[in-house]
Structures are given as structure tokens and as C-alpha cells.
Amino acid sequence: MPNPDPPDGRRRPRTESGRGRVAHEFLAADHPGTAVDLCELDHRNPFELLVATILSAQCTDERVNQTTPEVFRRWPDADALAESDPTELEEVIHATGFFRQKAKSLQGMAVRLLDEHDGEVPHALKDLVALPGVGRKTANVIRSVALDEPGLPVDTHVGRLAIRLGLTEETDPVKVEMALNPMVPTDERGVFGLRLILHGRRVCTARRAACGDCSLAWFCPSFGTADLPSSPHKKQKSS
């Protein structure tokens, strides 16, 4: 199926980096705002976002946002969380799932903040990923949303979109991040990742690509393809 005509005055980008730049331009129109505006986890400071991202593993942002007000009220900082009663903490976060492991991660994170970082959330990626419950994607969300540092979060949505849009053939999340980083200005890496995540949640989902409703359809190499790769672990056949 041929792609729709380009918008007036536009030519289809023909390279990976060209598609990345244009994808960001059009997704910025779909999802305007900064990384702070686009982050769907409620928080008032870096510590609260760190807590919320740990709780968001295998859980919807909506459910996390229903849980965190009480968490933040009872344990507003690393000191309080490090001293929390594990049973009480498990009860409060129960609805987010995997509550025992998450309670351990939260307490371990708070203890490490106190021991290694004077109770503050560190800025360096290597320090963030050393915290219990924090992976590279989470660290990049915290860096770009709460710390004003560059960081492009790559989750399954970003991995899937990167393949479908022909931005890279890499499937390893770190390699995808490295491939996408130079496609946008350094200070826009975070918001680029967040926009791809929103597009992957709302339009180009794993189960169904709504190509008829997609602002990127005019140049997407996967437009109208019946057999789309649904996982970043499956490579699309190169044409």
C-alpha cells in the first residue's frame, strides 16, 4: 500500500536520521510541551519521581498516581523512607503489584541515597542505575524530566517504533538509544523518547498500528504493512 502524499512542500526523508528528525518534528505537534509536561507520573521533585518510577514497573501510571500521594505523605524524603516499616510500606504500595520487591527496592534506594549521595538524587547515569529498582530507561526518565539532563528513555514502545519507522535496525535498547541520540538536539533527547512512548501507547501499539490516524504515515516504511514486527526483539526484514 503506498504512503499518503506528503504534506505541502515536504519531501519524504530517505535516511534513518532524516526519518528521526521528521518523526520528532511531527510528534512534537501531536504532543506539544516539555519532558516535564509529557511525563504522566505525578511528582513535585526528583525524589518523588524516583519513587514513582520504581513503583511504575509492570503497573499503569494511573494506578501509580493513585498510590503515590500517601507514599509521599508518609515518607517525604530518603531519611523517612530508609526508616520505614517494611510491612507498612508494603501495605501502602500493594495496589501497584510486586509490592514486596518494590518495597525492598524503595528502602534500598533510600539507604543508598543517604550513604552515597547525602540523601539527594544523583545526576550521573552510572549513579542512578546503581540504585535498587532503577534501570537505564528509568534513569533516563529521571534525568530528562526531573534533573534537566539529557536522557532518551528506550522502552518496548520506543524499540518497536524505532524499527517500524526505520530509524535503526538495532534491537538492543542501549544500541537503540545510541542510534537515536544524534537525531535530535541533546536537550531534546528526553522529550523525543517520551513522545515516541506516547505514540506507541496511543497510535502505533504492539497489537495494532492505526496507520490511518498516524501523522507519520506519509513517510513511515511500515505504513499499511499487515505483518508488523510487534517486538523490538524481532527485526523487520530489510527491503
| Residue 140 contacts ligand SF4 per CB under 6 A | no
Where does this chain touch ligand SF4 (CB under 6 A) — which range of 30-38, 64-72, 129-137, 215-223?
A: 215-223
Q: Which is nearer to ligand SF4, 30 or 40 (CB)?
A: 30
How far apart CA 59 and CA 97 sit, in angstroms, is 7
Q: Which is nearer to ligand SF4, 91 or 213 (CB)?
A: 213
In three-state form (DSSP H/G/I as H, E/B as E, the rest C), the secondary structure along 161-216 is: HHHHCCCCCCCCHHHHHHHHHHHCCHHHHHHHHHHHHHHHHHCECCCCECHHHCCC
Sketch the per residue contact string, 141 through 180, with ligand SF4: x for CB under 6 A, - otherwise: -----------------------xx---------------
Where does this chain touch ligand SF4 (CB under 6 A) — which range of 35-43, 80-88, 116-124, 206-214?
A: 206-214
Task: Give the active site residue among 8, 102, 115, 155.
Answer: 155
Whether the CB-CB separation of 105 and 138 falls below 8 Å is answered with no
Q: Residue 150 is placed in which grid cell?
A: 539529557
Where does this chain touch ligand SF4 (CB under 6 A) — which range of 42-50, 61-69, 185-193, 216-224?
A: 216-224
Catalytic residue flag (residue 127):
no
Catalytic residue flag (residue 155):
yes
How far apart CA 77 and CA 84 sit, in angstroms, is 11
Name the β-bridge partners of 209. 204
Q: Which residues contact 31 (CB under 8 A, 6 or more apart)?
A: 38, 194, 195, 198, 199
| Residue 220 contacts ligand SF4 per CB under 6 A | yes
The CA-based dihedral angle spanning residues 216, 42, 44, 196, taken in that order and rounded to the nearest 10 degrees:
-20
Residue 54 exposure: Cα atoms within 13 Å on the Cβ side: 26
| Residue 209 contacts ligand SF4 per CB under 6 A | yes
Where does this chain touch ligand SF4 (CB under 6 A) — which range of 59-67, 109-117, 146-154, 211-219?
A: 211-219
Task: Give the active site residue among 5, 42, 61, 137.
Answer: 137
| Residue 27 contacts ligand SF4 per CB under 6 A | no
Whether the CB-CB separation of 128 and 86 falls below 8 Å is answered with no
Residues labelled as active-site residues = 137, 155
Applying CB under 6 A, the residues found at the interface with ligand SF4 are 164-165, 203-204, 209-211, 214, 216-217, 220, 222-223
